Amino acid sequence: MAAPMLRRVSRGRWLGTPGQSGVLPLGLRKAHSGAQGLLAVQKARGLFKEFFPERGTKTELPELFDRGLAGNVPQTIYCGFDPTADSLHVGHLLALLGLFHFQRAGHNVIALVGGATARLGDPSGRTKEREALDAERVQSNALALRQGLQALAANHQQLFTNGRSWGSFTVLDNSAWYQKQHLVDFLATVGGHFRMGTLLSRLSVQSRLKSPEGMSLAEFLYQVLQAYDFYYLFQHYGCRVQLGGADQLGNIMSGYEFIHKVTGEDVFGISVPLITSTTGAKLGKSAGNAVWLNREKTSPFELYQFFVRLQDNLVERYLKLFTFLPLPEIDHIMQLHVKEPEKRGPQKRLAAEVTKLVHGQEGLDSAKRWCTQALYHSSIDALEVMSDQELKELFKEASFSELVLDPGTSVLDTCRKANAIPDGPRGYRMITEGGVSINHRQVTNPESVLVVGQHILKNGLSLLKIGKRNFYIIKWLQL
């Protein structure tokens, strides 16, 4: 296989109009061309944190976007997602929302799944090496991530339209170009453009080299491959901006330096903040505190509740970060909250917006209308319209049984077949002493025969509760 071709290209640049003064450094937000500029708005919301490079380029970053649209030339922005798990999580949402905001402004965005780079493991922000994943596992995870990204993009397109012309949303996988590469050819062609001193100076590398475990060659080369991803997308898609978490700035800098050295062109990086737990730990799979976006791992109800339980001192910031709501509307929501904090209005609005984006209208309805009623208000009507999957999601720790309804089946028979009570007198007393309920209704007669519509809901399910916290879901067969 031929070595990768590295080409110096000359792309058109936007030049100022005669007499126009130069743009001030990006670090001074007032340099932007008006309060409604895309970058200024997202900086004000807190979604865009750092920019690289901030100064010294022939075309400034705000200029690239504002004049690009004025000249009818949309830009292309990408963000990478490594398939180290089979689902995205809440920690990925801010980068995705960054892409969506660019798309809504008429620019084209690329979500890049790292089907190749996941085999190496990104060392950024980590104190030890990731657990190695075999090729088959990475391939399976990559497929799941591509499907998840496409579902999120579809929800965004269908449920959050704003009447403007949007750019495209494309999902790619970097294994498409790396599987064509030969190692020696790649190192000979690409490796010569990287300096060891620069690579070693990155904070992610320094911290790992000083750790007891050290750093593997595979991890060390990760930034080289991420830089090449940027170069590949620049060459084939005209991508000039990479979006990433705050811990990705070193990798983004490697991409900038590589592209500038090979082509003479300027590219840019934008970082988004990292979402942390109340203890300050980064939310994610490695930290063991991930809130997943796949409903099989975190149900719509659980996702909804994650945001409903948010502390008051965080909710305004999260409304700005995780929603498309205009800032004046967020201000209004917070003013109402000051008057009636017990209603948790901002938290509920935040939870609704995020759940709708992730799971669609059906997922939001399931979480907000039915699940909340079923769990907190003991609503039998809510239970009756739920599927067995939704019940399992809501009562995640519940035992699930499929039973045949024999004629004359009693409350005692049901509890024993579901292994909900012990055999003998003790189990019998648990019922007579009021420790058992079916579908939120207490039952005290062990010999009562089950009645369809009372003990068995219209959907063929029964929710059995023993004590205060032990739930059992029963799906009745052959009704």
Total domains in the chain come to 3
Q: Which domain holds residue 72?
A: 38-272
User: Which among 232, 131, 258, 133 has a CA at the least distance from the CA of 174?
Assistant: 232
What is the pLDDT confidence band of residue 342, given thresholds at 50, 70 and 90? confident
Q: Are residues 207 and 352 in the same domain?
A: no
pLDDT tens profile 102-112? 999 999 999 99
Beta strand 436-438 with 441-442: parallel, antiparallel or unpaired? antiparallel
Q: Are residues 164 and 64 in the same domain?
A: yes
Look at residues 168, 155, 112 and name the one whose alpha carbon lies nearest to residue 354: 155
Residue of higher predicted confidence among 7 and 229: 229
d(CA 40, CA 52): 15
Quick one: which of 339, 352, 277 has its CA closest to 311? 277
Q: Are residues 366 and 408 in the same domain?
A: no
Q: Of the ranges 22-26, 61-65, 466-470, which one carries the lowest mean pLDDT score? A: 22-26
Q: What does the pLDDT look like over 64-95, one tens digit per residue?
A: 787 544 456 889 999 999 999 999 999 999 99
Flag whether pLDDT at 184 surpasses 90. no
Predicted confidence (pLDDT) per residue in 48-69, tens digit: 999 988 766 677 788 778 754 4
* Residue 55 and residue 179 share a domain: yes
pLDDT in tens, 140-165: 999 999 999 999 999 999 999 988 89
Report the pLDDT averaged over residues 276-282. Answer: 60
Check residue 34 and give its pLDDT. Answer: 34
pLDDT of 330 higher than 80: yes
The whole-chain average pLDDT of the chain stands at: 83
Which pLDDT belongs to residue 251? Answer: 86
Residue 466 lies in a domain: yes
Task: Supply the pLDDT for residue 195.
Answer: 82
413 and 344 within one domain: no
Which pLDDT score is estimated for 462? 92
Tell me, yes or no, whether 437 and 311 share the same domain.
Answer: no
Neighbours of 352 (CB within 10 A): 17
Domain shared by 175 and 207, yes or no: yes
Decide if 61 is inside a domain.
yes
Does residue 356 sit in the same domain as residue 336? yes
Q: Which two tokens stand for residue 219?
A: 């991890």
CB contact set of 382 (below 8 Å; sequence gap of 6+): 369, 370, 371, 373, 374
In a domain, 126, yes or no: yes
Contact, 467 vs 427, CB < 8 A?
Answer: no
| 220 and 247 together in one domain | yes
Same domain, yes or no: 304 and 266: no
From 375, 400, 432, the end of a domain falls on 375
Would residue 128 count as lying in a domain? yes
Lowest mean per-residue pLDDT among 76-85, 97-106, 173-182, 216-225 = 216-225
What predicted TM-score, i.e. pTM, was given to this entire model? 0.74
Q: What is the pLDDT of residue 134?
A: 86
Query: Residue 283 domain-assigned?
Result: no
Q: 55 with 107, same domain? A: yes
Question: What is the structure's pLDDT at 123?
Answer: 67
* C-alpha dist (Å) from residue 474 to 264, 302, 387, 415, 430: 66, 22, 12, 10, 19
- pLDDT above 90: residue 13: no
Quick: pLDDT tens for 378-434.
677 777 777 777 777 777 778 999 999 999 999 999 999 999 999 999 999 999 999
The predicted-structure confidence for 359-383, as pLDDT tens digits, reads as follows 999 999 888 766 666 666 667 777 7
Same domain for 393 and 371: no
What pLDDT, on the 0 to 100 scale, is given for residue 14? 30
> Within 10 Å of residue 186's Cβ, how many Cβ atoms?
18
Residue 4: inside a domain: no
| pLDDT, average across residues 310-318 | 94
User: Is 50 exceeded by the pLDDT of residue 15?
Assistant: no
291 in any annotated domain = no
